[in-house]
Amino acid sequence: MRRWREVAWWLLLLALLPVLVPMALHTRRRALRLAPAAGARCGLAGAELSGTPLRLLVLGESTVVGVGVGQLQQALVGRLAQALAEREARPVAWRACGENGITAGQANGRLLPQALAEPVDLAVLVFGVNDTTGLTALRHWEGELGAMAEALHAAGARVVFSGVPPLQHFAALPWLLRQVLGLRAALLDARLRRLAAAVGAGYHPLRLEFSAHYLALDGYHPSAQGYRVWAEDLARALSPVSTRD
C-alpha cells in the first residue's frame, strides 16, 4: 500500500506536469522573498533560573533561521528555548544551525559538522519543505535524516524530528500546486515517522492553524504568532527533556 501511494503520486505528477511547470515558474517569479531573522544564532533563555543549562540545538531549513520574523527570539528556536526554560525551570542554552533553502542531504554535509562542534543535550531537526519542492527521492530523504540522527545520538543528544509542514495550506502557492505538493509532503512525513521509530528518535507533528494570522507576509513561513504556537506545542511534547529516549 505504501509503495502504491508513492507510485500513484509520480503518476499524478506526470499527468499534471504540463500545467504544474508553468504554474510553479510563475509562482517562483512572483514570490515574496524574506530574509532570515536578525540576531545571534545562539543565546540563553531563562538566564535568571538556577540549574545546569539544557543545551538545545535546532537544526534545519529556513524556519530555523527565522524567515518570516524580524528577530530569532521571535522564531522557532527562541520561542522553543523560552518555553522549555519555563516548563523545566532551568536555563536553556540554544543554538540555531540552519540555512534558507537547504535540503536534508545538503544539511548532512554542511550543517551537521557545525551542529556537532559543541555538546548537545536535545537536538530538534526541522526539514521537509525544500525536500518536498525539490522532489527528493524518499529513500534518499530517509537516509540523510537517519545519518544525522545517528550522528547526534552518538554525540549524546536526544533527537526529535518536527513533522513535515503540510504544504497544501501554504497560501503563497496556487491551489493545484498546493494539493500536489501537500500529497508529496505527506509521503515524506510518513517516512519520517517510521524513521524516528527505527532510530530511536522522537517525532512530533506540526500542529499549526495555517490561517493568515499564523503566516508571514509571504504566505509561506510562520508569523511571530505561528512560531509561538509551534514552539509551545513542541515544548509540551518534549518536556521533561532531561530523560533520554
Asked whether residue 196 carries a pLDDT value surpassing 80, the answer given is yes
**The pLDDT of residue 169 is above 80:** yes
Where do the structural domains in the chain lie, given as residue ranges?
44-238
State how far Cα 165 lies from the chain centre. 8
Collapsed DSSP state (helix, strand, coil) of residue 224: helix
Q: State yes or no: pLDDT of 64 exceeds 70.
A: yes
Q: What does pTM read for this prediction?
A: 0.93
Q: Helices marked H in 48-122 — which ranges?
A: 76-88, 104-110, 112-115
Fold of 44-238: Rossmann fold (3.40.50)
Arithmetic mean of pLDDT, 207-222: 85
The fraction of the chain above a pLDDT of 90, given in percent, is: 82
Range with the lowest mean pLDDT among 92-96, 147-151, 235-239?
Answer: 235-239
Please report the pLDDT score of residue 244 as a whole number: 38
**Chain centroid to CA 195: how far?**
15
Supply the pLDDT for residue 32. Answer: 85
3-state helix, strand, coil in the chain (%, to 5): 50, 15, 35
